[in-house]
């Protein structure tokens, strides 16, 4: 693996484990097995490396989500596929966790991939809900943006609940709960 990619991947791991504030350039260099000169050859500093790592984490999240949502099936089945995708719920979302880091939120360049990812996710889910509404799968008065935001919030909240309990069960319960609500919404359409 190229040094630049190793640095980005290491920063991704450390951001997920420790957050931005808890990740030092020295920790990145040590875990990546590179010297200070190599790091600063590729990145101007910690913020630049963190921005690259956040952009890569965001891209990976979008790719995995789109694989689930672009498949065949009804709107409900595609949302279900997204919600039931295998996740490391105890580690938290690699992008969502950054929304809880004060330094990331305070820096527009670091915050941008986080915001853009959730904006994309909600938009993509809203498209699927709108397709389902048009097909008669969901009630005509269903607001796609509201339902999409609720689905995204359940996933992110599920991560928080799982981490707090040190168990994947709360995440699974949250996902199954929103799926039950979607089924009920679909059953009462019209």
CA–CA separation, 18 and 6 (whole Å):
18
Compute the distance between CA of residue 105 and CA of residue 109 in angstroms, rounded to an integer. 9
Closest to 82 measured CA to CA, from 95, 71, 97, 98:
71
What is the helix, strand, coil percentage profile of the chain, to 5? 75, 0, 25
Residue 100 DSSP one-character state: G
Give pLDDT, residue 188: 65
At residue 33, the 3 state secondary structure works out as: coil
pTM comes to: 0.92
Burial of 46 (0-12, 13-18, 19+ CB in 10 A): middle
Q: Does the pLDDT at position 186 exceed 90?
A: no
Report the C-alpha gap between 55 and 138 in whole angstroms: 34
CA geometry: angle 131, 133, 137, nearest 5 deg: 100
Tokens (6 digits) for 66: 């789109």
Q: What is the pLDDT of residues 143-179, one digit of tens each?
A: 999 999 999 999 999 999 999 999 999 999 999 999 9
The Cα 130–Cα 146 span in angstroms is 11
CATH architecture of the domain with residue range 55-187: Orthogonal Bundle (1.10)
Q: What sign does the dihedral 17-63-168-160 (CA atoms) show?
A: positive
Q: Is it the case that residue 189 has pLDDT exceeding 70?
A: no
pLDDT at 187: 67
- Domain spans, the chain: 55-187
Is residue 147 within 8 A of residue 51, CB to CB? The reply is no
pLDDT value at 15 more than 60? yes
Determine the average pLDDT of the residues in 12-26: 94
Rounded Cα distance between 106 and 39, Å, is 24
The alpha-carbon radius of gyration of the chain (Å, integer) is: 19
DSSP run (H or E) holding 136: none
């Amino acid at each position: 693996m190229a040094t630049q990619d190793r640095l980005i991947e290491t920063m991704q791991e450390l951001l997920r484990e420790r957050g931005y504030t808890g990740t030092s350039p020295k920790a990145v260099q040590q875990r990546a097995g590179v010297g200070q000169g190599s790091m600063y050859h590729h990145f101007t500093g910690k913020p630049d490396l963190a921005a690259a790592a956040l952009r890569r984490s965001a891209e990976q999240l979008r790719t995995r989500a789109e694989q689930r949502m672009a498949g065949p099936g009804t709107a409900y089945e595609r949302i279900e596929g997204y919600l039931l995708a295998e996740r490391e719920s105890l580690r938290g979302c690699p992008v969502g966790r950054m929304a809880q880091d004060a330094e990331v939120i305070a820096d527009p360049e670091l915050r941008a991939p986080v915001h853009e990812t959730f904006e994309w996710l909600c938009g993509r889910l809203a498209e699927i809900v709108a397709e389902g509404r048009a097909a008669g799968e969901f009630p005509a008065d269903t607001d796609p943006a509201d339902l999409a935001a609720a689905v995204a919030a359940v996933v992110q909240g599920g991560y928080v609940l799982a981490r707090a309990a040190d168990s994947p069960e709360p995440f699974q319960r949250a996902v199954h709960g929103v799926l039950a609500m979607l089924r009920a919404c679909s059953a009462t359409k019209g």
